[in-house]
Amino acid sequence: MNEFKINDYLLKEEANSIACDAVKEQKEHGTDAEEYIWQTIDGHEWVIYTYKAIKLCAECNTDDGEQWLDDCGYDNFDSFGDHATKLAYATLHELTMSAYSEMAEA
């Protein structure tokens, strides 16, 4: 059995990959890149599986994700797992949007 491993490098690589896919989809099919990013992250295994979300939160820098949750007014969570999945979403979202912004400027 392969144990799930996550660190800041792998998280950033995944964010870059999602951003690249979003740009490709937009160029090839006219898909809205930000919508593609949102949908991809919303269903991402690191977000929907509580164990992976908790591991991401424990092993990676989540400062930007925490700030995003604060900015959006998320401060009431149903459980520890709920908080972890929302924080994992926010962290991956912020990294992916940052990568997308850099690609869009280039």
- Range 1-30 average pLDDT: 93
- How much is the pLDDT for 81? 92
- How much is the pLDDT for 75? 82
- How much is the pLDDT for 38? 96
- How much is the pLDDT for 74? 85
The H or E element spanning position 64 is helix 63-72
Domain-wise residue ranges, the chain:
8-105
- How much is the pLDDT for 3? 87
pLDDT > 70 fraction of the chain, expressed in percent and rounded: 97
CB 88 within 8 A of CB 52: yes
- Range 71-84 average pLDDT: 91
